């Protein structure tokens, strides 16, 4: 099935290399969030023959886009996320997302790398999870009315690639939807099935 959209996080690429690389990925639409030097990086790519995209706003951690599926004519809000590894900056992202929910009444998808686990089951090895940080993340999702879509394949999406004695694994890449999205017709859900997280 042909992909409509691709979200790429933590690219660690800047300058002229951004366009040079994204032009090779066979999508004719592209938006790159500003990153600081070679850290971070968030790209949203799409096929303009299948979806009309209107970029509403962006920061280094998020891209908010109004999406119109050209086959079904349905519209929804897509937020691509690369949350900062630094907690203070992630808190700003959680606040931004909570504000966005007050500004629209659309079906909404939030997808990407959140750099935070939701439960203790989402982490293996290393230090125990920080409960206050997890609860702050959960509060943000509850404020936004978000539902975790779940996953297929391996549970953990990040690893430090160390031997077993020092191995740390976490599930920090996710896709969330609000109830308006969750109750949409099958045709729009099929369109979402062609959105790929490039993680």
φ and ψ of 182, to 5 deg: -65, -20
**Total structural domains within the chain:** 1
- Residue 128: pLDDT band (50, 70, 90) is very high
pLDDT of residue 104: 87
pLDDT at 1 over 70: no
- Residue 184: pLDDT band (50, 70, 90) is low
Residue 21 maps to a domain: no
pLDDT at 26 over 90: no
Q: At what angle do helices 87-100 and 131-143 cross, to 10 degrees?
A: 20
Mean pLDDT confidence for 67-84: 91
Tokens at 64, concatenated: 């908010």
Which residue in 93, 94, 136, 99 sits closest to 118, CA to CA?
Answer: 136
pLDDT of residue 39: 63
- Residue 187: pLDDT band (50, 70, 90) is very low
Residue 100 maps to a domain: yes
- Residue 114: pLDDT band (50, 70, 90) is very high
Beta-strand pair 62-69/51-58: antiparallel
Residue 93 maps to a domain: yes
Kindly report the CA angle at 78 between 180 and 49, in degrees rounded to 5?
A: 110
pLDDT tens-digit series, residues 129-162: 999 999 999 999 999 999 998 888 888 998 999 9
Containing 2, the helix (H) or strand (E) segment is none
Percentage of the chain lying above the pLDDT 70 cut? 86
pLDDT of residue 126: 92
Kindly report the CA angle at 137 between 134 and 138, in degrees rounded to 5?
A: 85
Residue 65 maps to a domain: yes
Range of the domain at 143: 50-185
- pTM across the whole model: 0.87
Residue 30 maps to a domain: no
pLDDT tens-digit series, residues 94-111: 999 999 998 888 999 999
Residue 24 maps to a domain: no
Task: Report how far residue 123's alpha carbon sits from residue 148's, in angstroms, rounded to the nearest whole number.
Answer: 17
In SS3 terms, 69-122 reads as ECCCCCEEEEEEEECCCCHHHHHHHHHHHHHHCCCCCCCEEEEEECCCCCCHHH
pLDDT at 199 over 50: no
pLDDT of residue 192: 47
pLDDT tens-digit series, residues 58-72: 999 999 999 998 888
- The domain that contains 159 carries what CATH number? 3.60.10.10
Residue 81 maps to a domain: yes
Residue 124 maps to a domain: yes
């Amino acid at each position: 099935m042909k992909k409509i959209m691709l979200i790429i996080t933590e690219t660690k690429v800047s300058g002229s290399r951004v366009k040079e690389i994204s032009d090779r990925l066979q999508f004719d639409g592209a938006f790159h969030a500003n990153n600081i030097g070679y850290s971070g990086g968030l790209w949203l790519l799409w096929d303009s023959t299948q979806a009309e995209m209107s970029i509403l706003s962006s920061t280094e951690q998020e891209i908010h886009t109004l999406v119109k599926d050209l086959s079904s004519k349905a519209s929804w809000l897509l937020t691509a996320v690369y949350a900062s590894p630094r907690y203070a900056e992630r808190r700003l992202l959680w606040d931004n997302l909570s504000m966005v929910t007050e500004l629209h009444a659309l079906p909404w998808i939030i997808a990407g790398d959140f750099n935070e686990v939701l439960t203790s089951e989402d982490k293996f090895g290393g230090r125990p999870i920080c409960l206050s940080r997890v609860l702050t993340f959960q509060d943000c999702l509850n404020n936004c009315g978000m539902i975790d879509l779940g996953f297929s394949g391996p549970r953990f999406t990040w690893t430090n690639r160390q031997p077993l004695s020092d191995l740390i694994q976490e599930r920090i890449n996710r896709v969330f939807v609000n109830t308006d999205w969750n109750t949409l017709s099958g045709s729009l859900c099929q369109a979402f099935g062609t959105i790929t997280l490039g993680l």
